A and B are shown apart, each in its own frame.
Chain A
Amino acid sequence: MSNKISVRQLCFFLAFVAPVGKIVLLPSRLVHFAKNDLLLPAALQFALQAGIVFLVVLLSRKGETLYELLRNAFGKVVASILFVLFACFFLFAALYPVQEQKLLVQSVFYDTLPSLFVFAPFFVLSAYLCAKPLFVCGRTWDALAPLSTVAFAGLMILSAGEADFGALQPAGASGFPAILKAFAYTSNWFCDSAFLLLLTGRLEYRKGMAWKALLSYLAGALAVLFFLAVYYGIFSDIAVRQSFAFAKISKYFSAVSVLGRVDYLFIYLLGLVMTFYCVVPLQASATCLREAFGERGKPALYSVAVNAAVLLVVIFTDLRFLSFQETVTVKLFWIFPLFTVLVPLLCLFLGRSRREKILR
């Protein structure tokens, strides 16, 4: 088994897997801040992240992992400390998607509010996945890409006809501060570049890979923006109330009333893809710990530790979601750009200094 992620697999992740995590609670959250201007902050976030993704993929030209880069630059101890910090960040970044997944499950997979027990198996699966090396994700992305495409296209076909795109007008009506707020307070949904940073050195670098990654990310971004437009076109002034957007937009299709909720097939397929996407930051966190502490512990140990920590948070915040959301997305929003924008940019300099070192 090749222990590298291929160009295709990376592109599949960016175009087909990563966008899926942005269609659950993000749409209603964007509407909460920016109302009908929800496309603007989302587009800004995508543009920023696309640039970072491009640069991070360029960084993997060196063929060294992030840990190796840090170790070469600062020594083993500092690299390990930084990786523990990274692990903490990914753990923090995983909290919201996991909560999102839990709420989605409670709302979409059941007719009545189920007990927390039904969500517990997620952590069993997650622990299993996190114990595996990061590069095996590549193959999963290969398998998930067609599922994601079929499900997303299916939902869009069922729902796009219902949308009144005029609802997106007037552009900019919510004002610049509101758009800026929406941009800032939705940063937690845009962590892809930080995850890619961890894939540095694990990518099978080929010429033009960065461009391909950029285009794939933009393709995924376009799909999300189209989804957001359809979503707002369907719900317009009540969009803010419509959480779990992707599970709701297709029910108005006329055939659904005759055949029953056939759209659930697509919704569950997206749920499947989302499960894998939700595990990504947890996998990243476990990997960081593994690299920071070397081979002193079994991979399963880090995996169990990371998942147990998130499980505890989920139990603790079970009935405190709104304050949890406020804390993660508003009060502590600055943590995300720190790790998804600033740190990747700093790592670029790290790469350059090393190159200079070699040249010297």
Chain B
Amino acid sequence: MKKFYADAIRRLPIRLYLLVAAVVCFAFFSNDFGLVDIQKTALILAAGVDRTQSGFTLTAQIANPKGSGAQQDNSGLILKGSGKTVSDCVAQIYAETGWVPKLIYCDLVVLGRETAQTDVFDCLDFFLRNEYMSDSCLLALCEGSAEELILSSSAADDTSADAVSKIFSEAAEKSGKLSKTTLKEFSIGYYGASQSGFMPFLRAVPAEETQNSGGSSESAGGSGGSSESAGGASRKETFVYLAQETALFLRGVMVGLLSPEETFAYRLLSGDVYSGMLSVAVDGEDLSLTVLKNDGDASLDMKAAPKAKLSVQLTVRLYDRDKASPIEDVALSETTDKAQKAAEELLSSYVGSLWEKIRQSQCDLFLFRRSLYRSSPKKFREWDSTLLNALRPETQISVRGVE
């Protein structure tokens, strides 16, 4: 008997290995522990959220891969769900389509104009809370409803989401024509000392060319929870998307809208513009200047009376004239003092207008309140609510040509 037990203990490790192997094999072949594999998944690439009377609607652009034989085409399916919270919308999509919506690849969240009337975090809360969603996704506010924008057909791309993602490219951002933000950045602004943030404001503008070439799919809006996708070569209005305006937010509520010029000024002051274009009129002649170097800065000076130091130092080159020029001028592309002066005046007016918008909206776009908090919490408490009104802007604009 003793020998039997000794033998059993000696063989125990092997039996344990076999047991573990058997369990692993069972798990492998049964192959379902609540896992959601690629076949059951709806990969949401872009989401549009609108506020409704009863809550929210979520319009999701999902990836639609074709079979290996077919041409790759990411166009297509749009899923819609509605509910009291965004999470309810997602649950409805799951319930009505059987596909599990996954937000891991969601790179764009478009909010309908209505959502910005109240705190946008009523709906963004879901995205920030979701452990399986990246907070590096882009945020945008759109004119009208997000559903319409997502459902609209792009004149330039397969889907509206693709087209919008393209206009948010890094190159577009460097041109200074738009300012983009991510969920993380917007949340930091919202929960931080400034309580402010911004989002690019999207407009869908009908394209002149409305003929849609055959093959790409189109989708149209529908009732909650429906899944719609259609192909064919029907004539349908197509759109181009503009995001040159910027919506300003204070405590999650939209409080102002920057014009394209003000957006450009904001980008210049942020110092992130490397290849932007500036058009000025000199002696009745229109000139285009390209920005080669941009040293922009917006800082807070609390030494005496509170001051906002706004400075833009540009190095530009003549890029184009609206009139024919001698070949020497074409070769050198030098900017004249007059042109530089004109550019400085133009930018001063943009910056002035921008500052006025900020003051009116009380959106701390340059995060001055945060700077004050970081440098002196005591002064922050003193100036917190009145800072933007008390700040006197000190603008310094300098435009120089390449030497």
State yes or no: do A and B touch (Cβ within 8 Å): yes
**Mind listing 27 A-B residue pairs with CB under 8 Å?**
A111-B36, A111-B102, A111-B104, A112-B36, A112-B100, A112-B132, A113-B34, A114-B35, A115-B33, A115-B34, A117-B27, A117-B33, A167-B374, A169-B375, A170-B374, A170-B377, A173-B377, A235-B184, A237-B191, A237-B192, A238-B128, A238-B184, A238-B188, A238-B191, A251-B136, A254-B170, A257-B136
A111→B129 CA distance, assembly (Å): 15
Tell me the residues in window 104-162 of chain A with beta carbons closer than 8 Å to chain B beta carbons. 107, 110-115, 117-118, 124
B residues near A166, Cβ cutoff 8 Å:
374
Asked if A252 is at the interface (CB within 8 A of a chain B CB), the reply is yes
B residues near A235, Cβ cutoff 8 Å:
184, 188
Contact with B along A168-187 (1 / 0, CB 8 A): 01100100000000000000
Asked if B57 is at the interface (CB within 8 A of a chain A CB), the reply is no
Asked if B283 is at the interface (CB within 8 A of a chain A CB), the reply is no
A residues near B184, Cβ cutoff 8 Å:
235, 238, 252
Asked if B118 is at the interface (CB within 8 A of a chain A CB), the reply is no
Query: Are A236 and B192 closer than 8 Å at their CB atoms?
Result: yes
Across the interface, B188 reaches (CB within 8 A) one of A112, A237, A252, namely A237
Query: Are B33 and A114 closer than 8 Å at their CB atoms?
Result: yes
**Closest chain B residue to A103 by CB distance?**
B131
Chain A residues within 8 Å of B, Cβ to Cβ: 107, 110-115, 117-118, 124, 166-167, 169-170, 173, 235-238, 241, 251-252, 254, 257, 298, 300
Across the interface, A114 reaches (CB within 8 A) one of B34, B100, B128, B191, namely B34
A288→B373 CA distance, assembly (Å): 51
Asked if B159 is at the interface (CB within 8 A of a chain A CB), the reply is no
* Residue of B27, B100, B374 with most partner-chain A CB within 10 A: B374
Across the interface, B20 reaches (CB within 8 A) one of A107, A117, A124, namely A124
Query: Are B136 and A236 closer than 8 Å at their CB atoms?
Result: no
Query: Are A118 and B20 closer than 8 Å at their CB atoms?
Result: no
Query: Are A112 and B33 closer than 8 Å at their CB atoms?
Result: no
Query: Are B20 and A252 closer than 8 Å at their CB atoms?
Result: no
Query: Are A170 and B102 closer than 8 Å at their CB atoms?
Result: no
Asked if B74 is at the interface (CB within 8 A of a chain A CB), the reply is no
A124→B16 CA distance, assembly (Å): 10
Count, A-B residue pairs, CB within 8 A:
57
A residues near B61, Cβ cutoff 8 Å:
none
* Cβ-closest 8 pairs across A and B: A169-B374, A237-B192, A237-B191, A238-B187, A112-B36, A115-B33, A115-B34, A173-B377
A residues near B20, Cβ cutoff 8 Å:
124
B residues near A257, Cβ cutoff 8 Å:
136
A169→B129 CA distance, assembly (Å): 26
A170→B381 CA distance, assembly (Å): 13
**Closest chain A residue to B36 by CB distance?**
A112
A284→B365 CA distance, assembly (Å): 54
A236→B373 CA distance, assembly (Å): 13
Q: Nearest Cβ in chain A — how far from B106, in angstroms? A: 13
Query: Are B373 and A170 closer than 8 Å at their CB atoms?
Result: yes
* Residue of A115, A124, A237 with most partner-chain B CB within 10 A: A237
Query: Are A112 and B192 closer than 8 Å at their CB atoms?
Result: no
Asked if B213 is at the interface (CB within 8 A of a chain A CB), the reply is no
Contact with A along B118-144 (1 / 0, CB 8 A): 000000000011011010100000000
B residues near A117, Cβ cutoff 8 Å:
27, 33
Contact with A along B35-65 (1 / 0, CB 8 A): 1100000000000000000000000000000
* Residue of A111, A118, A166, A170 with most partner-chain B CB within 10 A: A111
A152→B34 CA distance, assembly (Å): 32
Q: Nearest Cβ in chain B — how far from A25, in angstroms? A: 13
Query: Are B132 and A111 closer than 8 Å at their CB atoms?
Result: yes
B residues near A252, Cβ cutoff 8 Å:
136, 184
Across the interface, B375 reaches (CB within 8 A) one of A113, A170, A241, A298, namely A170
A residues near B36, Cβ cutoff 8 Å:
111-112
**Closest chain A residue to B12 by CB distance?**
A300
A110→B128 CA distance, assembly (Å): 18
Asked if B376 is at the interface (CB within 8 A of a chain A CB), the reply is yes
Q: Nearest Cβ in chain A — how far from B138, in angstroms? A: 11
**Closest chain A residue to B192 by CB distance?**
A237
Q: Nearest Cβ in chain A — how far from B69, in angstroms? A: 25
A114→B191 CA distance, assembly (Å): 31
Query: Are A241 and B128 closer than 8 Å at their CB atoms?
Result: yes
A115→B34 CA distance, assembly (Å): 7
Q: Nearest Cβ in chain A — how far from B194, in angstroms? A: 9
Query: Are A112 and B34 closer than 8 Å at their CB atoms?
Result: yes
A251→B133 CA distance, assembly (Å): 12
Q: Nearest Cβ in chain A — how far from B23, in angstroms? A: 9
Query: Are B35 and A112 closer than 8 Å at their CB atoms?
Result: yes
Tell me the residues in window 363-399 of chain B with beta carbons closer than 8 Å to chain A beta carbons. 373-377
A58→B147 CA distance, assembly (Å): 69
**Closest chain B residue to A127 by CB distance?**
B16
Given A111-B104, A115-B34, 7 further pairs, Cβ under 8 A: A111-B36, A111-B102, A114-B33, A170-B373, A170-B377, A173-B377, A236-B188
**Closest chain B residue to A236 by CB distance?**
B188
A residues near B376, Cβ cutoff 8 Å:
170
**Closest chain A residue to B41 by CB distance?**
A111
Q: Nearest Cβ in chain B — how far from A132, in angstroms? A: 12
A237→B195 CA distance, assembly (Å): 10
A residues near B170, Cβ cutoff 8 Å:
254
B residues near A113, Cβ cutoff 8 Å:
34
Q: Nearest Cβ in chain B — how far from A36, in angstroms? A: 9
